[in-house]
Amino acid sequence: MEKKFRRIVPDNVRVEDLKPVNIACGSTKCNEGLHCFSLKKSALRKHNSERVCHECGADLIEWDRVHKNNIKDSRFIFKSMKNELIRHVFWHTEIEEAAITHAQNRGKVELRSKASKLIKSRIGKHTFMDGRQTPLAGKEIINYAQHATATCCRKCLEAWHNIPQNRILSSEQIEFCTNLVMLYITERVPDLKDEGVEVVK
Ligand SMILES: [Zn+2]
Ligand SMILES: [Zn+2]
C-alpha cells in the first residue's frame, strides 16, 4: 500500500496494515481509538480546545502529568502517546532488518551519543522545514524512535512535551529526548548490548 492518509484513515484499511509511509501527523482512526493530538487551530475552532483530538474532540490525555517531562514516568507518557495513530504505528510497525542490525552493531553507548547529536541537529532549534527533518524509516533506528516518542519535529515536541517551538533546547531537554529515544530502542531491539557486536545477516 503506497497511499498516504493525511487525515481520516478509511474503515476498510486495517490499522495493522498501516506503515509509517501511509500516515502523517494529522492522521486518525478515531472509531478505533486512535487519534491525533497535535495542536491545531481547527481543533480550537471545532472543539474549543487545542488539547483534544482535532478530528473527533476526544479528550483523553492527562496533559499536566505528561508535560512534567519526567523520565521516571515514561511508561505513562508512552501509554498516553499510543492513543495517537501516528505513535501507535511507530510503536508497532516492523522495523527494517537493516536498521535492527545496524543498531546491534553499534550498541547502546554509541547509539545514545548519535541520538543526542541527531536530536540537537534536527530539533535543537526551529527550522523552516519543520515536520520533514526526520525520515519516516530507513536504516537509522533513531528515525523510528523519534517519531514514536514525539521528538521528531518541533510541532510534536510542543504538543507532547510542551516546549514552545521558538525555544532553543537546553541540554536537559536534549537529554530528556535522548532518554525517550533510548527507551524506545531498547524496547524494540532485542538483546541490545552496551557495546556494539558484530551481527552478520
Ligand atoms: Zn479522534
Ligand atoms: Zn513530528
| Interface ipTM | 0.97
Give me ligand 2 centre to Cα 191, in Å: 28
| CA 78 to chain CA mean position, Å | 10
pLDDT of residue 201: 66
Query: Is 111 inside any structural domain?
Result: yes
> 153 lies in which domain range?
97-188
Give me ligand 1 centre to Cα 155, in Å: 18
Q: Examine the domain organization and report whether 36 and 56 are in the same domain.
A: yes
pLDDT of residue 40: 87
Q: Which ligand is nearest to the CA of 32?
A: 1
Query: Is 198 inside any structural domain?
Result: no
Query: Is 72 inside any structural domain?
Result: yes
Give me ligand 1 centre to Cα 193, in Å: 39
Query: Is 38 inside any structural domain?
Result: yes
Q: Examine the domain organization and report whether 81 and 138 are in the same domain.
A: no
Q: Which ligand is nearest to the CA of 59?
A: 1
Q: Which residues surround ligand 1, an ion (CB under 5 A)?
A: 28, 30, 35, 53, 55-56, 58
The residue out of 91, 120, 148 marking a domain boundary is 91
Per-residue pLDDT of 66-99, as tens digits, reads: 999 999 999 999 999 999 999 999 999 999 999 9
Query: Is 4 inside any structural domain?
Result: no
Distance (Å, whole) CA 183 – CA 40:
28
Query: Is 74 inside any structural domain?
Result: yes
Q: Examine the domain organization and report whether 103 and 87 are in the same domain.
A: no
Collect the ranges in the chain with pLDDT lower than 70.
201
The residue out of 31, 65, 91 marking a domain boundary is 91
Q: Examine the domain organization and report whether 103 and 172 are in the same domain.
A: yes
Q: How many structural domains are present in the chain?
A: 2
Q: Which ligand is nearest to the CA of 150?
A: 2
The residue out of 70, 91, 112 marking a domain boundary is 91
